[in-house]
Amino acid sequence: MASNVTDFTQDFAILNQRVNDEPLTYLDNAATAQKPQQVIDALTHFYQHDNANVHRGVHTLAERATEQYEAARAKVQHFINAAEPAEVIFTKGATDGLNLVAGTYGEAHVQAGDEIVISIMEHHSNLIPWQQLALKKHATLKYIGLTADGELDLADAAQKITDKTKIVALTHASNVLGTITPLKQVAKLAHQHGAVIVGDGAQAAPHVKVDVQDLDVDFYAFSGHKMMGPTGIGALYGKRALLDATDPYQYGGEMIDFVNLYDSTWTELPWKFEAGTQNIAGAIGLGAAVDYLEAIGMDQVAAHEQHLVDYLLPKMLDLDYLEVYGPHNPAKHTGVIAFNIKGIHPHDVATALDMDGVAVRAGHHCAQPLMKKLHQVATARASFYLYNTQADADRLLNAIQEAKEFFSHGSVEAK
């Protein structure tokens, strides 16, 4: 493995290419991260040497596959500091995990007249499951607002969370504003009112050290592909007492204890929530991604991204033709930076940047209520990860300037 952050690009072959005859500058990490060779090799090795179904077989390949699958679970447990491996359920990703909680714990505990509290900056994955649960149960869905600089309004949270609140569901880091939420403080507030708290860690787990016991969250979901693992794999953490008391989400093979003609019993955690053949290779690949990140150290990952934000954000704020969303203080901002060039549609901006080899996202980022709050239909979004460099930040700035000049020139020509 490379010895320091600036050398990590050598582990990512996909970054060593040209797009539109320009060096690729990949800044769409909030959507999905690139995979190091170590993760790709882990997937290839499994399929070439150990491919078998897990848990049910006694032959050598099945035992190898099972050992690697459960070893990956233990790696994830250590990565987020869960109390035991049984508190880690493999899912398809953060969306699947959040739907699992809404469809099991939420279904059983939310009744008419109860409250569910989320924030206005939630990704649709942590909004629609609660919205639909509230509609189904005739419960009240409440939204915590934001401060003027795009941070979670804790005073409003204290008003919105009441003794009627059963569930508080909150992003750990916004995929638009780059805001890190005070999840630990909100968890304490939720517990004071007897509510459980669900954390959406999709934008946090890849970038900062997550300690679910210290945060005291009841559930926490995240995706593998955003932290350099394969697509189609993720994890849901849940406190054992809550998971033990919650019925399964799906039924079939693997999650049963005994099946009779007219009733069945369920196996123990975590397998009662993992019906059918799981994404075994994906879990092993996720374990390899955890190995990669932990060899670097999450503190170093966070420090590197903070260095890039410290460098880039003030320069973007100095451009009078840019609208930058989220906190303007770099210390309160993740490596996700949403922006618009005034008077130019963000899709046009993203297309222009791509011509310079700079890959960013443009759209509503699955956060339409937040876009309405910002009085925008869409934004462009650059998002950084550990393999990005200061040179990437400079290429983004140059591409933005070129896009501005191109469209300004085009409007003059049109006149």
Number of helices and strands in the chain (H, E)? 14, 17
Instruction: Report how far apart, in Å, the C-alpha atoms of 396 and of each of 167, 206, 306, 357 are.
Output: 40, 22, 17, 9
Instruction: Report how far apart, in Å, the C-alpha atoms of 398 and of each of 27, 34, 334, 391 are.
Output: 14, 23, 21, 10
Cα 391 from chain centroid (whole Å): 25
Task: Return the structure tokens found at 326.
Answer: 């989220």
Q: What is the largest CA-CA distance in the chain?
A: 78
Instruction: Report how far apart, in Å, the C-alpha atoms of 12 and of each of 1, 295, 301 are.
Output: 11, 16, 16
Instruction: Report how far apart, in Å, the C-alpha atoms of 380 and of each of 28, 310, 353 are.
Output: 10, 20, 10
Indicate if 366 belongs to the active site.
yes
Q: What is the mean pLDDT of each run of 10 residues along the chain (415 residues)?
A: 60 95 97 98 98 93 97 98 98 98 97 98 98 98 96 97 98 97 98 98 98 98 98 98 94 91 93 95 98 96 97 98 96 96 97 98 96 96 97 98 88 38
| Integer Cα distance of 144 and 151 in angstroms | 11
Which 3 state secondary structure label does DSSP give 204?
Answer: coil
Q: Is the peptide bond before 270 cis (omega within 30 degrees of 0)?
A: yes
| Integer Cα distance of 34 and 29 in angstroms | 8
Instruction: Report how far apart, in Å, the C-alpha atoms of 325 and of each of 8, 321, 328, 415 are.
Output: 29, 13, 8, 31
Angle at 145 between CA 142 and CA 148, to 5 degrees: 170
Task: Return the structure tokens found at 157.
Answer: 């949270």
- In the chain, what are the domains? 5-31+297-410 (3.90.1150.10), 40-295 (3.40.640.10)
Q: Which runs of consecutive H residues, i.e. helices, occur in 239-367? A: 240-244, 280-296, 298-317, 346-355
- 197 burial level (CB within 10 Å; 0-12, 13-18, 19+): buried
Cα 405 from chain centroid (whole Å): 34
CB 153 within 8 A of CB 182: no
pLDDT the model gives residue 294: 97
- 343 burial level (CB within 10 Å; 0-12, 13-18, 19+): exposed
- Catalytic member of 189, 366, 374, 399: 366
Cα 138 from chain centroid (whole Å): 29
| Integer Cα distance of 27 and 32 in angstroms | 10
Of residues 150, 153, 129, the one with CA closest to residue 141: 129
Which helix or strand (DSSP H or E) is residue 111 part of?
Answer: none
Which helix or strand (DSSP H or E) is residue 340 part of?
Answer: strand 336-341
Q: Point out which residues pair with 142 in neighbouring strands.
A: 117
| Integer Cα distance of 57 and 43 in angstroms | 21
- pTM of the full structure: 0.95
Which 3 state secondary structure label does DSSP give 115?
Answer: strand
pLDDT the model gives residue 413: 38
CB atoms within 10 A of CB 56: 11
Which residue shows structure tokens 């955003």?
A: 226
Q: Which runs of consecutive H residues, i.e. helices, occur in 336-379? A: 346-355, 368-374
pLDDT the model gives residue 5: 52
DSSP state string for 396-408? HHHHHHHHHHHHH
